[in-house]
A and B are shown apart, each in its own frame.
Chain A
Amino acid sequence: MSMLHKPDRLDDRAFDQLIEESQDLHTDAMTVARTTMPDLADLASDRRRNAGAADPELVQQFEQARSSLGRKIAMALGGIFGAGVISSAFAKTASAADGDIDVMQLQTAVSLELLAVATYGAALTLPFIANGNPVIVKFAQTTMSQHDQHRQAFSAQTKALGGTDQTATNPKYTPIVEAAKPTLAAPIDVVKLAMTLEQVATETYLADLNRYTDVTSRVLMASVMGVECQHLATLRAVGALLDGGAPELIAIPLGADVAKLPAAAGSVAFPDAFEGITMASPPEEGAVK
């Protein structure tokens, strides 16, 4: 705390070093992920072969969630003839695995990640962001990259389970983002929009955890959840500093200015002892139709 730094300035060298370390970690993670892909593919084959042995509770939840008549017919036929018939019948639009709740959750996750990437990308084109606080710029760039890597991981896992890769942004929140874009007039507006997306992602991934039948998918989702929630925490802190009229305290490293942080900055990022799921998207929301 003894080092003084100019407010509103980013230590680019130190920051870049941190990013480089993060990228190294990601490279390591992807190396591990690649080694597990053959196993995941085997698992997908097993799941397709054993489609008739699905958890009855999950099947019931699935049936309640799906409104498409075609899907209902497919499920009914699936119970009679097995998944092979169904996968052939619907091969043009989706694979049989797309009815699997694990796959649906992964597809919805991809849809949220795609929207996050697009939203941060759009934010970076706004003059008051692009030419504004360098920490916010770096955060938007880094977070966009991290979301894209989450999307890649979820897409890979979707395909490993035999599902169809989701390529569209989330259908519920895309219109909300599009409606908000013209109203974005200051950094705080962008921060609040991003907070919404990060909270939806965090709570969706939390709500998904105990519905997974595939442990690898569950751990992957928990791993990404552990990062989205930190995006959210950072945005809450940044938003509080912007709302409080102290943008100069949005700096890395903060140095001696940590003493100037308002007390609320120490707790605004985590308002509750437990995360809720009130904003969670249901499994089918972003599933491939």
Chain B
Amino acid sequence: MNEPRELPTLTRRHILAGAAAIGAGLVVAACGSDSNNVSGSTKGTTGTTPTSGSIAPAATDATGSTTVGTDAAVTTAAANAGVDVKVAQLAAGLEVLAVGTYKAALDAAGAGSLGDVPAAVAEFVTVAMAQHQAQLDKWNGVLTAAGGDAVTEPNATLKPTVDAAFGKVTDVTGAATLALMLEEIAAATYLSAQKVLTDKDAIMLAGSIQIIDAQHAAILRYVLGEYPVPDVFAKVDLAAA
């Protein structure tokens, strides 16, 4: 577990490209969210990048009492609410992907496909998966409370590369390396979201989850033979273009 980590098919570059697309989506969402985002359901488009036109129920409510474009303050509030919903959808899609990947790892370990699995690693996967499920439930609670649909599909941008990479995983090191990249992406995405979130509860939720995902990453680094806290400042390069 002490070799430089790089999976056979899922290189850091691949992950970075996917994450960059997500980050770019966040920026576009922040800059471009407006009253046009008032159509369609998130069902069937969940887990996609936040640029996909999805409804922001809070925005609909906010704009419903006035004519769009005639009240700058209300329009801004609606746009902000739309950004927050897009971030929640993005976060939920990442959490679905994390839960699914950890579940696949547990299944593979149970089938003996990963070789001997250390007890601490098995415990890590079990607990981390449960925590990501709790985080997913929280984001979906935010979305449904706002009148939207829960996200049930994994992030569509990252899923194909993660799936392809997981297909090549043959041991615990490979699985831990993939998990570390997902945790780093999640933590970086939550940090990046602080630039655009406006709702106070959403800001706190993103920060709270960023902490747990960063801690997952620290322990995975230790298991992989790396220093657990390599950076002086948490980075957003995995989340932002």
Residues of A within 8 A of B (CB): 1, 3, 5, 14-15, 18-19, 21-23, 25-26, 29, 142-143, 145-146, 149-150, 153, 202, 206, 209-210, 215, 218-219, 222-227, 229-234, 237, 252-255, 258-259, 261-267, 269-270, 272-276
Contact = CB atoms under 8 A, between A and B. Distances in A.
Contacts of A222: 191, 194, 207, 210, 234
B157 interface: no
B173 interface: yes
Contact residue range for chain B? 35 or more
B72 interface: no
Closest 9 CB pairs of A and B: A226-B234, A253-B225, A266-B123, A266-B124, A261-B120, A266-B120, A233-B215, A273-B134, A273-B131
Given A149-B232, A222-B234, A252-B227, A267 B124 contact: yes
A165 to B, nearest CB: 19
B189 to A, nearest CB: 12
B212 interface: yes
Contacts of B39: none
B208 A275 contact: yes
Given A18-B226, A206-B207, A231-B229, A272 B214 contact: no
Contacts of B216: 270
B1 A254 contact: yes
A22 B131 CA distance: 29
Contacts of B218: 230, 233-234, 269
Given A210-B200, A230-B228, A237 B1 contact: no
A254 B223 contact: yes
Contacts of B126: 267
A255 B1 contact: yes
Looking at B116, B172, B200, B208, the one whose CB has the most chain A CB atoms below 10 A away is B208
Given A146-B232, A209-B203, A215-B194, 15 more contacts: A25-B231, A149-B233, A215-B195, A233-B219, A234-B218, A252-B225, A253-B225, A254-B222, A258-B118, A259-B118, A261-B223, A263-B122, A266-B122, A266-B124, A269-B218
Interface class of chain B by DSSP: helix
Given A25-B232, A150-B232, A273-B131, A226 B187 contact: yes
A263 B116 CA distance: 14
Contacts of A209: 194, 203-204, 207
B65 to A, nearest CB: 22
Nearest to A143: B229
Contacts, number: 192
A258 B2 CA distance: 11
Given A206-B211, A273-B135, A274-B208, A223 B119 contact: no
A274 B211 CA distance: 8
A18 B119 CA distance: 27
B127 interface: yes
Contacts of A274: 134-135, 138, 205, 208-209, 212
Contact of B233 (A3, A26, A265): A26
Given A206-B207, A226-B211, A263 B232 contact: no
A261 B171 CA distance: 18
A206 B229 contact: no
Contacts of A264: 120, 123
A186 B65 CA distance: 65
